[in-house]
Amino acid sequence: MPEHTGYTGKSLEFLKSNDVAVGDSVKAIGELTYSGIIMPRYEHTDDQHIVLKLNSGYNIGLEIEKITKIEKLTSTEKISENVDDLKENPSLPKILLLSTGGTIASKVDYRTGAVTPILTASELNSSVPELSEIANIDTEVLFSEYSENIMPDHWLQIARKLNDVAKSDYTGIIIAHGTDTMHYTSSFLSFALAGYPIPIALVGSQRSSDRASSDAALNLIGATKFLVGCKTNGVFVVMHNDESDNTIACHYGTRVRKNHTSKRSAFQTIGDNPAYIIYEDKIQKNTKDEFFKNKKFNPKINLDTKVALVKYYPGYDSKLLDEILDMGYKAIIFEGTGLGHIGKTMYDSVKRANEKGVFLGMTSQCIDGRTRMTVYESGRDLLNLGIIPLEDMIPEVALVKTMWALGNSQDIEEAKKIILENIASELSK
């Protein structure tokens, strides 16, 4: 890490003149005295402050004009961690942990404040030692991306890696993933790898591992217990069930979405309870669905991103829909109002889309419930214009499924049949 990351102007000169840098442990003396580690600063911040990480783990900003003296206690020289090599326990099952980014499989370097990926089984064990009592963990970093930067090409990369180890001796696979788009990734894997012979758990963390309320370790432990003891297969999102530390929820990868920006229990199964709940060492099964056990594994790892997700709102300009059609999109998933409606100002553009052979699917903006387009006249008009109701499929899931269906079919009619088939429990009974 550069020795003065984020510092400019007066604050940079202050650090240089006092021969201290990011990662140094210092004592700052002024009206009050603080001891801590100099942290890097965010981009685009002022040049009037330095930031210290205190022993409590909290960060504090200090105005440089009020610091009368700063003393260096220790420097940033690299301190190698004494992490013993792990010996595999032959009596325990094997789990593969694939890291794609996020904080769930990362650690905080308190010398610099940087969050770095855990690369080895030894580092993982030192960070979450409880894991070594549950399973032997192999680790691999596929890539390190914030979840908002994970694209469909990344889904393909993950799926191909999983396909490569489908016949391995692993009991299950954990995918460490950022939370913001985790349900998109879980949806694609559910379709592309339907019938995968062992369970797959996507695990994230809402709170970073340097916070006392972090859910990183608990989610990881819960996921490992689930994979070892669940006796099932399929793709799951494994996160906190509530704000306590007692229960971890395991959601089907096509029936879950993130419903809160910061709560540890942000992920919820839509329209039902989580498929499984982990409480201490017990696994509570809430689903009677044996759907995945009867699936033959036949990986289909392709997609076509020419699919648009259109959220209708009063005042939506139908010219936007025309632009989508002119760009060559092959399918449009509508997030309609209520039971599945869009305004009549859209009808001409919808008719044009249907005449061009574009697949038109309808989902609802409502969090729960099913589309039912036969109840009102407007819904029946839309049915007549070629829009197909997608029952209670979550809009994001419908988007991903349509991308996948287009990538694995010869024409739009074949894709339509795939979209309407219940592949991975994306349609509830």
Residue 345 known to be catalytic: no
C-alpha 101/C-alpha 141 separation (Å) is 8
Is the pLDDT at 246 greater than 90? The verdict is no
Rounded to 5°, angle at Cα 151 from 149 and 155: 125
CATH topology of domain 307-420: Rossmann fold (3.40.50)
- pLDDT value, residue 288: 77
Strands (DSSP E) contained in 30-83 are 33-38, 49-54, 59-63, 69-74
Which is the catalytic residue, given 179, 224, 247, 254? 179
C-beta of residue 25 within 8 angstroms of C-beta of residue 35:
yes
Task: List the catalytic residue out of 103, 139, 171, 287.
Answer: 103
Cβ-based neighbour number of residue 260 at 10 Å? 11
Computed over every residue of the chain, the mean pLDDT equals 89
* DSSP letter (8 states) at residue 384: H
Where does the pLDDT of residue 122 fall: very low under 50, low under 70, confident under 90, or very high at 90 and above? low
Q: Rounded to whole angstroms, how far apart are CA atoms 291 and 274?
A: 15
Indicate the fold that domain 9-74 takes in CATH. SH3 type barrels. (2.30.30)
DSSP H helices, 210-283, are 216-229
- Contact (CB, 8 A) for 163 and 173: no
Among 112, 167, 104, CA closest to 139: 104
Across 288-315, average pLDDT: 89
- The pLDDT of residue 104 is 65
User: What span, in angstroms and rounded, lies between the C-alpha atoms of 314 and 30?
Assistant: 57
Averaged pLDDT for residues 99-110: 67
**384 Cβ partners below 8 Å, 6+ apart?**
none
> H-helix or E-strand containing 162?
helix 152-164
63: confidence class by pLDDT, cuts 50, 70, 90: very high
User: Of these residues, 53, 107, 258, 401, which one is catalytic?
Assistant: 258
Q: List strands edge to edge, sheet with 59-63.
A: 59-63, 49-54, 33-38, 25-29, 69-74
For the cut 80, the answer to whether the pLDDT of residue 77 exceeds it is no
Residue 95 φ then ψ, to 5°: -125, 140
User: Active-site residue 263, yes or no?
Assistant: no
Predicted pLDDT of residue 216: 80
Segment 253-269 mean pLDDT: 93
Which residues touch 12 (CB under 8 Å, ≥6 apart)?
A: 4, 47
Cα 40 to its chain centre, rounded Å, is 26
Question: Annotated catalytic, 138?
Answer: no
Mean pLDDT value across residues 359-365: 98
Task: Let me know if 363 is a catalytic residue.
Answer: no
Tens digits of residue pLDDT in 6-45: 899 999 999 999 999 988 899 999 999 999 989 888 767 8
**At 220, phi and psi to the nearest 5?**
-65, -40
Distance CA 54, CA 59 (A): 6
- pLDDT of res. 371: 97
Phi, psi of 23 (to 5 degrees): 100, -15
Query: Looking at residues 273-284, what average pLDDT do you find?
Result: 93
Q: Is 72 helix (H, G, I), strand (E, B) or coil?
A: strand
CA distance 76 to 377: 70
What percentage of the chain exceeds 90 in pLDDT?
Answer: 70
Among 72, 109, 120, 180, the one annotated catalytic: 180
CATH topology agreement for domains 9-74 and 94-294: no
Specify the amino acid at residue 245.
Answer: D
Angle between helices 347-355 and 377-384 (to 10 degrees): 30
Pairing, β 49-54 against β 59-63: antiparallel
Fold for the domain defined by 94-294? Rossmann fold (3.40.50)
d(CA 190, CA 180): 18
Longest pairwise C-alpha distance within the chain? 77
Cα separation, 323 vs 318, whole angstroms: 9
pLDDT exceeds cutoff 60 at 113? no
Domain ranges of the chain: 9-74, 94-294, 307-420
Work out the number of other CB atoms within 10 angstroms of the CB of residue 335.
Answer: 20
Q: Provide the token pair at 402.
A: 């349509």
| pLDDT interval class at 111 (50, 70, 90) | very low
Instruction: State the pLDDT confidence band at 81, using cuts at 50, 70 and 90.
Output: very low
Is the alpha carbon torsion for 136, 138, 144, 150 positive or negative?
negative
List alpha helices for 297-372, DSSP H: 318-326, 347-355
